[in-house]
Amino acid sequence: MDRQWLPLNALRAFEAAGRLGSFTAAAASLTVAQSAVSRHVIALERFLGVPLFERRPGQLALTEAGRHLLPAVTRGFDRIDGALGEIIAERGTPRRMLRLALPPSFALQLAVPILRDFRAEHPELAIEIGTRVAGEGEGGIAVAYSEPKVSDAINDLLWMERLAVVCAPAAIVAGASSGAGASSVEGASSADAAPDLAALVARHDILHVRLGGRPHGHMWRAMARAAGRPDLAVDGGLVFDTAQLAVQYALAGDGLALVDPALFRDDLAAGRLVAPFETRLASGYGYYLVTAPEDLDEAVALFRSWLIRRFAGPARSEGEAEAAP
């Protein structure tokens, strides 16, 4: 057989599943999704023209062909692993480079403050952080802010974005009504009286964040509808490229930003920022951890599993209302 056609990724998936007796365990061992292991094994079976596993409920057993192939594949990988280990031992362990591409607001608000924890756990890794997607051949891992999409890359959803109105506490004090006329979707604020969205909009700049190719007022109009005030003029104001810039403007006390509170937990917890209404709008966008299968080396796998543990599924506040745009 011509070696250029050897399906190495499929063989890795088969070897792990055969050795561990489970697609789930194999996926955990290879730090990939279970569906990826299953697809690789199916592809290998089609390549060979014979089944390698007998699939029964709660049980995975090797066929005769699988029992014949598994020892050879395991020995092959063991020999490769041994040879690589000998070379590394002779020349010293190279310093591994982890390249991260992160959206600007994500990097500033979430990733950078806790990278110290990752560095403490893995001081052997050199880390390069950028706010652009790595180019072809550069390797690495990226956090993408996007709508759900199908691609050849491994996409792990960290969380789906839910937008809320946020502002400085001073804006609530200045814009709060006497307590009457607050809309039914409004929630708690730092002021004694429930704030009125119309009053806040009348007194403060509307701050928009660009969202893909959508018109800049799209989400603010959805918020106005959810608040029962579709008549509010929310198309004006300022437009920012990032949520971070919009929030910096809002912190000065002069604007209302519509952003994901999960990005600004520290500011909200410290009281520098408040979210006066309970309504959350699902923008249809989310934060995805994107890894090309060919870039899934040990350094990338370590960071991938770590980031999923740290960021996957931020808890939604109790009593939080949600509306679709």
Model pTM score: 0.61
CB-hemisphere CA count at 13 Å for 70? 20
pLDDT number for residue 133? 53
Return the closest-CA partner of residue 164 out of 86, 257, 267: 257
How high is the mean pLDDT of the chain? 81
Where are any strands of DSSP class E within 244-320?
255-259, 280-291
Higher pLDDT, 183 or 226: 226
Side chain identity, residue 18: G
Does the structure show a pLDDT above 80 at 207? yes
- Which of 10-19, 34-43, 136-145, 293-302 has the least mean pLDDT? 136-145
Average pLDDT over residues 299-319: 68
- Whether the domain at 3-91 and the domain at 161-285+317-323 fall into the same CATH topology: no
Do 232 and 197 touch, CB atoms closer than 8 A?
Answer: yes
The pLDDT confidence band at residue 299, using thresholds 50, 70 and 90, is confident
The pLDDT confidence band at residue 174, using thresholds 50, 70 and 90, is low
Looking at domain 161-285+317-323, its CATH superfamily turns out to be Periplasmic binding protein-like II (3.40.190.10)
In tens, the pLDDT along 3-33 reads 556 788 899 999 999 999 899 888 888 878 8
pLDDT number for residue 99? 86
Does the structure show a pLDDT above 50 at 321? no
Return the closest-CA partner of residue 289 out of 122, 110, 99, 159: 159
Question: At 48, is the secondary structure helix, strand, or coil?
Answer: helix
Domain 3-91 has CATH 3.40.50.720: no
Q: Where are the domains of the chain?
A: 3-91, 161-285+317-323
Does the structure show a pLDDT above 80 at 315? no
The structure tokens listed for 260 are: 């994901």
**Pairing mode of beta strands 322-323, 280-291:** parallel
Do 243 and 211 touch, CB atoms closer than 8 A?
Answer: no
Average pLDDT over residues 167-184: 59
In tens, the pLDDT along 118-170 reads 888 888 888 888 876 544 444 578 888 888 877 788 888 889 999 999 999 98
Does the structure show a pLDDT above 90 at 300? no
In tens, the pLDDT along 272-281 reads 999 999 889 9
Average pLDDT over residues 61-77: 93
Average pLDDT over residues 94-108: 81
Average pLDDT over residues 39-68: 91
Burial of 260 (0-12, 13-18, 19+ CB in 10 A): buried
The structure tokens listed for 268 are: 């909200």
Average pLDDT over residues 243-266: 93
Question: At 248, is the secondary structure helix, strand, or coil?
Answer: helix
Of 139-148, 187-196, 258-267, where does the model show the most confidence? 258-267
Average pLDDT over residues 75-83: 88
Does the structure show a pLDDT above 70 at 229? yes
Cα gap 307→118, rounded to integer Å = 9
Do 282 and 164 touch, CB atoms closer than 8 A?
Answer: no
Side chain identity, residue 35: S
Question: At 297, is the secondary structure helix, strand, or coil?
Answer: coil
